[in-house]
Chain A
Amino acid sequence: MRAYHIKNKEIIPSSCRSNRGFLATITTILLLITPPAFAHKLNMFAYVEGNEIFVEGYFTDGKKAKNSEIIVFDASNSELLRGISDADGQFSFAIPQQSDMRITVNAGMGHQTEYSLLKNELHEEVEDPSSEPTTTATVADENSTQSADGPLTPITAVSLDNSALRTEVERAVGKAIKPLMRELSAMRAEKSLADIIGGIGFIFGLFGIAMYFKVRKTS
């Protein structure tokens, strides 16, 4: 056995080089063909749209998390409601209560992710006195540009169905920011080349340290 090793040691200089070259080639190829997107990590986003909360789950390769179980918990971790996402991985439900919420999406096979929706992201049903003037002002402004009438009439008309209008505005804003939200959560999920190189650096570094101590112990 000893002799076998000795023999091996003598062979190493010639044959080991090609082996190392092979491994290095594999690693390089693996690095080069790595696409920026990450397969099979489940992502989700949730936001308030009018009186409803909209949830969408998707995998980072673009596949939608369809037929996934969506469970909503309140702040004290008790279940509020659950549902199944549709073919587009989407699910929406009426706001169950005014509190912080934790929403989980379980796409099966060990894929699960969660999102915390804070209370202040929710649409307030109770009229907030501080936000009242701003809403009225914007709406009045909008109306005054459309009609030549005095601003007085629109204001009274607006204040009547203020809450309906506000819901409408929130829904419109929600729709407008939907692609932004999607982009943002995709960006957050995407990892850079720096992470990959960093990880490999960690591995070599740790084994380098291990080697250092091994060598010190043997010598």
Chain B
Amino acid sequence: MHISDGILSAPVLTAGFIGTVAVAAYTLRKLDLDDIPKVSVITSVFFVASLIHVPIGPSSVHLILNGLVGVVLGVRAFPAILLGIILQTILFGHGGVTVIGVNTMMLGGGGLIAYAVWQLRHHFNIKKKEMIFGGLAGATGIFSSGIVLALSLVTTGEEFIATAGYTLVAHIPVMIIEALVVGACAAFLVKVKPDALAGQLPPIPLTTPAAEPIKEAPQATDEETPK
């Protein structure tokens, strides 16, 4: 799901670049030193994911995994996807240099929306919510990117409803595959290393509603456990 060179008009391309720089600058401010290794690994996963294609009938689809990036990196998904797209453009010829901005808004925006969906899990108290919301986030990443793709193609004169419908139908297999992949990853990570996932709150404050007193509570237990 990359837009090629020479389709969009100059104002759309410029808007894409301005939007990308603004969002990337804002989201990069939150980059912690401890996060850098994780961001770089996930960026590589995103970069490589576009090469994996799953055969479906006579045709095939390739993974995008912007939902996974959102689930694992949170808002840092945006700069990660930006770097991934730049390298995909230069090395693989996906999309084009002039469309890096729009493509990042499309896939990175999808990643941010996937993160928002992922965060909704805190409002539910059901079994395996990580798997369910991971799957939802994976599908939402593709879905929202498809909407942005259709929106940007509207400026070229293509009709929105038709393009959006066509794009989303074409990406239904990807949505299903990514929902499975992201759901499985989230379920695995939450078992093995929960704080590798984005927006993971410390487990104790989540279960008890009062915020102030329990801040002391885990501190106390922490002091106790090492001793």
Contacts and interface: CB of A to CB of B under 8 A. Distances in A.
A48 B226 CA distance: 78
B93 A189 contact: yes
Size category of the A interface is 35 or more
Interface in A187-219: 189, 191, 195-196, 198-200, 202-204, 206-208, 210-211, 214-215, 218
B222 A3 contact: yes
Size category of the B interface is 35 or more
Interface stretch (A36-44, A82-90, A157-165): A36-44
B6 A112 contact: yes
Contact of A7 (B40, B55, B222): B222
B48 A4 contact: no
B37 A39 contact: no
Name which of A40, A198, A206 has the most chain B CB atoms within 10 A of its CB: A40
Given A4-B218, A10-B226, A30-B48, A203 B36 contact: no
A63 B55 CA distance: 11
Contacts of A37: 53
B149 A218 contact: no
Contact of A109 (B84, B170, B185, B195): B170
A202 B92 CA distance: 14
Contacts, number: 147
Interface stretch (B58-66, B109-117, B118-126, B132-140): B58-66
A40 B193 contact: no
Contacts of B31: 210
Given A59-B59, A199-B92, A210-B31, 16 more contacts: A4-B222, A23-B41, A26-B185, A39-B53, A39-B61, A41-B93, A110-B149, A111-B4, A112-B5, A113-B4, A191-B93, A196-B51, A199-B87, A203-B84, A207-B37, A210-B36
10 pairs of A and B residues whose beta carbons are closest in the complex = A39-B53, A110-B3, A207-B40, A3-B219, A19-B193, A39-B62, A112-B4, A7-B222, A195-B91, A199-B87
Interface of B: 1-7, 31, 33, 36-37, 39-45, 47-49, 51-53, 55, 58-62, 83-84, 87-88, 91-94, 149, 152-153, 158, 163, 166-167, 170, 185, 188-189, 192-193, 195-196, 202, 215, 218-219, 222-223, 225-226
